[in-house]
Structure 1
Amino acid sequence: MDALYTAVATATHGREGRAVSSDGKLDLELGIPTEMGGDGKGTNPEQLFAAGYAACFASALGVVGRQAKVDLGDAAVTAEVGIGKQGEGFGLKVALRVELPDALDAARGRELVEQAHQVCPYSNATRGNIPVELVIE
């Protein structure tokens, strides 16, 4: 694959540090969530992953919608990224909650969401690695 774009970011001090992109557009304090024993200050890798996956999947949905000549302009994607113990380490799971326009037939909507799941780079990266549930709301 020839990369069309490469994002570069550096994190220091792990989950209680800072993440900064090479262009300076991203500069975030990181913190451990209170649910994991931290103080909850700052964002965390799971929130960043959720934001990226939601945005990417929404774009993929727009691509398949345009190809099918279906207006999905009002669609919204919410990504829920969970982290928990898995064996000796930790693992992730994802639920993608997709809100489609009311006028769209449910079966057609499901078909387009499944197609977006095949197109989305995040979905392709996670497929077979972590469970991803597609929920149409």
Structure 2
Amino acid sequence: MVQHLFNMNLKWSEGRNGTGTIVADNLHTKISIPREMNGPGVGTNPDEMLLGAAATCYLITLAALLENAKVDLLDLSMQAEGYVDVTNGVFTYERIVHKPKIVVQNLTEREQKRINRLAEKAEQTCMISKALKGNVQIACDVQIIQG
């Protein structure tokens, strides 16, 4: 068995509306509660970081699947949305929507179906998506364009 260890050091000052920092090998930023949740809005926050983890994992997985399938890819970009519900003062991360935009050289109906299957497979096989399964709904709204 191979196991990878990731470390992060965190520091926090004051109470709920304080600020802090996170430091990892390739990440160093300020953190706080976002303005939308009545916080100071300094740096990033757990909601953005969860969305970022899910989105980057999905995008990297999708890129690998497209490469392995030898899709004639011209461009790959993505927008991601995270939806947090607030009911009776309880915050619940409900849903993430990945919106990849895939530009390919030759787009036939068969190729479009194949790319859609790969986009779905990326969501099912991404490590972060699997970790969130059963807690956060993840959907994909794929846009495939001929370049």
- The alignment's TM-score, normalised by the length of structure 1, stands at 0.80
Which structure's CA Rg is the greater one? 2
Of 44-53 and 109-118, more deviation after overlay is shown by 44-53
SS at match of 2:81: strand
Letter of the 1:27 counterpart: H
Residues 1:36 and 1:55: Cα distance change in structure 2 (over 3 Å)? same
Measure the CA separation in 2 of the matches of 1:16 and 1:94.
27
Counterparts of 1:39-118 in structure 2, within 5 Å, are 39-72=40-73, 74-85=75-86, 89-92=90-93, 93-102=95-104, 103-104=106-107, 105-118=111-124
SS at match of 1:108: helix
RMSD, aligned α-carbons? 2.5
Measure the CA separation in 2 of the matches of 1:66 and 1:113.
12
SS at match of 2:141: strand
Q: What's 1:125 paired with?
A: 131
SS at match of 2:99: strand
Of 6-15 and 94-103, more deviation after overlay is shown by 6-15
Identity %: 26
| Structure 2 unaligned residues grouped into runs of 5+ | none
- The alignment's TM-score, normalised by the length of structure 2, stands at 0.75
Letter of the 2:124 counterpart: Q
Give the C-alpha shift of residue 52 in structure 1: 2.2
SS at match of 1:50: helix
Does residue 12 of structure 1 match 2:18? no
